[in-house]
Structures are given as C-alpha cells and as structure tokens.
Structure 1
Amino acid sequence: MSLEQRPKVSVIVPVYRVEPFIEKCADSLLRQTLDAIQFIFVDDCGGDASVDLLRGVVGRYPERNVLIVSMPQNSGVSAARARGIALATGDYLGFCDSDDWVEPTMYERLYDAAIGQKADIVACGYNEIIGRKVTKFQFDKASDDLATIMSFTRFGSEYGALWNKIIRREFFLTENLHLGDGLSMWEDSCTLIPMRLRSAKTVFLPDCLYNYYVNEGSVTTRFLMRKVTDSCEAVRRLEQFFVSNGYASESKELVEFLKLNATEVLMRFPSRENIVMWRETFPEAASAIWRYPSWNVVLKFRAWLVARLPLPLAMIVVKYVRK
C-alpha cells in the first residue's frame, strides 16, 4: 500500500519481553493480504532485544505502514494499547499480542465482513496452543438478543480477548467504554461486554484465523494470585455499568458467574489468607456455587463448606477436601 493511503485497519501490538516470539508475530502481520493496513508496535520497555528483532523483520517490508513507538516507562498492556489507539488512523482497530500470530488472510476477512455487513465489531475463531495441543474455538452466528449477549457461557470465548476482533474506530472512540483502563486482568472483557451491548451490528466468522499461544511457564501460582485483585475490580466495574445502564436484572446470572470466576484461584489454592479473602470478597455469590459450570463437584463442595463454616473449622475441612 502507499504510505499516504488511509488505512482500512490499524493493528496495535504492545511489545514486552517477547524475544522468542516477536519475529514470528511480526512476520505474520506484515504478510497480511489486506493492502491498506497500519501496524503500530508499542515498546513497553521490557529491556530485552525484542524491539531490535522487530526492526529486523520490519526492514524486510519497506512498503508497509509501520510505526514503532516507545512508552516512557513500563506501563502495562492497557496503557500501551491506549498509546497505539491515539496514533491509529484506520477505519477499524485491531489488536494482537506479541507472542501470538495470525493467518495471512485474517484482517482482510474481518474487514470485508465489516464493510459488507456494516458491522461495528467483527470476530473470528481462534486456535489455542498449549505445548503441542491445539484447541479450536469457533463461534456461533452472532445474536443481538439481550439474553444471549448476557449469557455467561459466552464470557471466555466471546468477551475474553480483543485480539481476534476488529472494532470500528469511530464507534470505539465515541462510546468510550474503556472500563478496563489500569487493569492487568480482564481488561478486554471490561471493554468488550459494554461495547457488545452498544454495538448496532456484531458479526462472527467461524474460521480460526488467530493463533493464541499459552506460555505455560508464565502461569505460576504467584502470577495468578496477583491477578485476583484486578479480576475482582473488573467485576465491580462491570456490575456498576450494568446497574447504571438498566441491566441489573438481565445481568444477575452473569455477574454471579464473574464473581465466582474472579475468585476461583482462591479456592484452588486454599491457604488461610486465601480463604479469608474468598469469604470477604463476594460473599453474596456463594448462593450460586452449585450452578457454576467450571468447577468440579469436589471444588464446589469445598467452597460451599468454606462459605458456611467458622474459619477454624473451614481450615480443617479444606485439608481433607482435595480437588
């Protein structure tokens, strides 16, 4: 594309300590079949060679519209994305994680669907890669029915990530529904659920065009525990949005699910500190334990007992009720 041509899509990629992955990610983006596309890589000050490797790949595609900008200091994904959004000029916004990669036709397919169906949001299926295991996640046809949008069964796959979607930039900026600002967990869901409710048209493509790499080594108990606070804050922000916008009744089941989901790790690693935190964070959600689909029976029984027993007795119980 000509560098002066208005981009159809601007793709924003935060870059932070991804030396083993950034070349594959960048190459998959720069090989896209969509012609008028802008790429904005935001260096979040990881202190490694990621950006040097990135520049090497970008140098092989001189015809591409590429910006590489740096944050003043490490600021996290939300801030890095915000910097990229401020620089974007495309009709649609796309987001890619720098340890993932995309299929060659992804953005052309998403953009064509967006224009053809006048959609605010277009999503595609994705492949989840854990080691050698690849799991496909594909979507049903989009429904604008409120009950369907509020279904907790759609939370993880549909609302869990921005990276398999494009969103009309004017809609994104006008609605200003960035409830996830400052969060390091569920920030995408805090954006997508409100936007899904406000979107006049959302389209799902069944094809798996995005490849989501799960780095097992980074998922430690300590890492998960640091995320609990942000997950709970995300739930509070979403619940407030639902109440303020007249969705309190329709969102009740979804909010219960989110509260249990956000605190699930506390039950999986039930130290005294975690049990106290679980009992105090969302005590009202305990009534939904047996309806929560993600927990096995043993975990549900453990949580049910912990919610009802005095703390000393609860500590004794969890030693014998193993997952």
Structure 2
Amino acid sequence: MQNDKPKISVILTSFNVDAFISDALDCAVNQTLKDIEIIVVDDGSTDGTQKIIEEYARRDSRIKPILQKENSIGGVATPANLGMDAARGEYIGFIDGDDLLKLDAFEKLYLSAKSFDSDICVCQFNEFFQDSPYSTSEPLGHNWSQLPKEDHFISTVIDKKALLSLSPVPWRKIYKREMIEKNNIRFPVVDHFFEDNPFHWQTVLSAEKVSLVREVLFHHRMKRSGQTVGGGHLVFSNVFNFIPYFIKYSKSDHEAEYQSSIVKWILDHARYYLMICGKTQRRKNIELIKHSVKRIDEKWYKNAFTSGEIGLDDVELLGSILRGSSHSARRNIKRKNNNIFSYFLSLRKILGLKYAFKFTDRKFKPFRTLNKRSVWIKDEINSSVYKSTSVNSHLLKIDAIFKAFETSKNT
C-alpha cells in the first residue's frame, strides 16, 4: 500500500532525451530513500523518451507519468508546474531528464531538512560534459563561503542574499511543499528560458529555515544538443526579461537591501553575456543590455556601490553599457577576470575608505584602473594627506560616475 504522503515528491522533467532518460530514471528508482513518489513529466518529446518512461512506470508503481502531447513554451516551467500540482510529498525535489545523482542524494537532503524542519535544503553539484571524462565544480560555487558555517540556520536578510548568489538551479535542493503552496510559488510560464531564476528568488526569500549539505550529490550534464545553456548568447539574453520578477519578489521590509542584490545580479549576468558573445554580436546586443540595466532606478546602483555590494569596475561596466561602448565593456570584463574586484575590496578595506583614490597634481582623483599594484599605496597609506578634509568631498562625488545614466535616459 502506497503512502498518501511520501517523504519527497521527486519531479523528473524531460524532453527529447531518449539517450539519457534511462540513466536519470535508474538514479531515481534506486534511491536509498524508498518512501518517494516519482512524477515524470515529459514535455511532448518526439523521440523515444515517452516509451522509455512508460516502460519504467510499468515496473515501478512509484512512477507517475504525465506525458504531454505537445512541447510547451518557456523551457521546464510548464512540466515542472504540472509536477508540483500533482505532488503529495512532504518535500519536493527535481531531476533533469539527462542528469545523474548519487543514490543517497535524496536521503541526505531529507534527513538534513527534517532534523531542522527546514523550508529548503541545498547541496552542491558539479557539471560534466558529454563525451568527456572531465567534470567541473558548480558555477558560482565560491559563493558558498558567504553562507553561515552552521549546517542549519534561521535565514536572515544577509543569509538570503548569500543564498541568492548561488546558482539558481532547482534540482540540487528540496523544498517543503507547505512553503511552496502557502506562497503560491510556481515557475513563470513565458516564451523564453531561464525560468529557474525567478523560482530561485521567490523560494529563497520565502524560506525561514535552511539546511545545507556540503557535498556534491548531483551531476549536471552539459553541452548536449537541445539544452538551454547550449543555445548560445541569443538564448542567454532572455535572462534579463526576469528583472521585473526580482523587483516584485523583493518587496518587503528589507527591500532596499535586496535592491543591491538585484543590481549585482544584473551586472554579473551582463558581464557573462558580453564575455560569451563574439565581437559582432557584442556590438549588436549592447543595446539590449542597456535597455535591461535602465529598468533599475539610478539610486539602486549608487546604493549598491556605496554599500560595497558592487565595486568600481562594476560601475565602469555600467558606464560602458550606457554609452553603448562594447569595446570598453569588453576591456572591463578582462579586468574583472583578473580579480580586480577582489583587489578593489582589499584596497578599500586597507584604507578604511569607501573609495580608492590617488594623489595626482595635488588633487584627489578616483583610481580607476586598478590593474597594477601601484607604489603609492605603500608610500601614502599612512600619510597625513588622507586626513585632509578635502578627501571626503572627493569621495562623495560618485554622482559623476553615474552621469551616463542621466544622459542615457534622454536617448
């Protein structure tokens, strides 16, 4: 007799993955946590995927197939939502139809979540490439260092901002279904991809208790034909369409603090987008990014800078975008990849100031390049010149950096 409320409703979504679906299903049915239901939602596959799903469903009564006749818009949104509508479990988890996971993955996630009654439990993952023996760590994995050292915690604003900085993928987490239903959380169904970004924001901001499993439990397949991230820069540009969702979800008593996270998200994605574009495409689509960054009020960028959420190189990137200068933006990206941001933060901490600057011709000027370790840092750091009353007046004049904003609003 089946449990009316299994521990986890595992939602496996698929579309034209007949070469990989068996591996994903094997990982699901052989989980060490047996009290699960496996809801397999196929989004109108035209290959042999649905036949494979039906065969597995005949062999394992825990598998509940939902087979769509036609492919839906918006990537995984519709099939994932259908799975959540059908879910009966205490928690909800996801599997991509071409991914792999350890056989004890859901048991470890569930035990961690249950021990603290968590709304979300998050584990680590890696990426592997088709026809390659090599794997890489998760994108943005370095942001785990921003999370609390404890494996269970009450999620404060600072914690939520740290969670938001992680990769938004839903399939390395489990979510308490009560939280999902209470907050009416679903993937947005729109005619573009990257629907996991707004889902990530809404679930993280809704969660009160969070658990972490600091172990790689999921293995995400990359570079297969038909994959969203394999669609190149034209597909990736759609990610900016979700900015209004982030603004909507961030409406709270701490709205101003989440505004800085939105700003950082926009500039980080703009930087990555421009990095993967070729020269011709970068020139063509700089206007698209310009339109996206202008959706946010100028004050948000200023506040993000003065609070330290973004650095001087991020502001320079913003200026390049607003001027429509793809060459300048590309140059900024190269500097960013040389750890300029980390250097700027270290410099600001050493000086105890909000702005990095140098003394030239008896005037303080923003130190904009930061691509070399200059002698002036060592020689002048303890100089009385930093105690001059004129310093603050120069430090506070960051409005000049954002002048491109005012100009661009008239174009």
Shift of 1:301: 6.5
* Letter aligned with residue 260 of structure 1: L
Q: How is 1:107-122 mapped onto 2 (pairs within 5 angstroms)?
A: 107-122=106-121
Shift of 1:187: 2.2
Partner of 1:279: 290
Partner of 1:214: 222
Partner SS, residue 251 of structure 1: helix
TM-score by length of 2: 0.65
Partner of 2:45: 46
How many residues were matched structurally? 308
Of residues 178, 182, 191 in structure 1, which corresponds to 2:199?
Answer: 191
Structure number with the bigger relative contact order (C-alpha 8 A, sep ≥ 6) is 1
Structure 2 vs 1, CA of residues 264 and 108 (structure 1 numbering), >3 Å: closer, same or farther? Answer: same
Structure 2: distance between partners of 1:99 and 1:195: 24
Q: How is 1:157-236 mapped onto 2 (pairs within 5 angstroms)?
A: 157=167, 160-178=168-186, 180-182=188-190, 184-215=192-223, 218=227, 223-229=232-238, 231-236=239-244
Tell me, yes or no, if structure 1 residue 73 matches structure 2 residue 84.
no
Of residues 281, 297, 322 in structure 2, which corresponds to 1:307?
Answer: 322
TM-score by length of 1: 0.81
Structure 2 vs 1, CA of residues 306 and 94 (structure 1 numbering), >3 Å: closer, same or farther? Answer: closer
Q: Deviations over 1:210-249 (max 9, x none)?
A: 11111265577854323323x122222111221x323321
Question: RMSD of the TM alignment (CA)?
Answer: 3.3
Tell me, yes or no, if structure 1 residue 250 matches structure 2 residue 261.
no
Structure 2: distance between partners of 1:116 and 1:109: 11
Shift of 1:205: 0.8
Structure 2: distance between partners of 1:172 and 1:306: 37
Of 215-224 and 194-203, the range deviating more from structure 2: 215-224
* Letter aligned with residue 322 of structure 2: A
- Taking only the aligned residue pairs, the percentage that are identical comes to 20
Structure 2 vs 1, CA of residues 66 and 86 (structure 1 numbering), >3 Å: closer, same or farther? Answer: same
Partner of 2:352: none
Of 20-29 and 182-191, the range deviating more from structure 2: 182-191
Structure 1: distance between partners of 2:100 and 2:48: 19
Q: Deviations over 1:279-316 (max 9, x none)?
A: 222145887799768xxx7x9967644533xx5xx367
Unaligned runs of 5+ in 1: none
Tell me, yes or no, if structure 1 residue 263 matches structure 2 residue 273.
no
Partner of 1:238: 246
Q: Is 2:198–2:242's contact at 8 Å kept on the other side of the alignment?
A: yes
* Letter aligned with residue 135 of structure 1: T
Unaligned runs of 5+ in 2: 335-411
Structure 2 vs 1, CA of residues 233 and 214 (structure 1 numbering), >3 Å: closer, same or farther? Answer: same
Structure 2: distance between partners of 1:36 and 1:220: 33
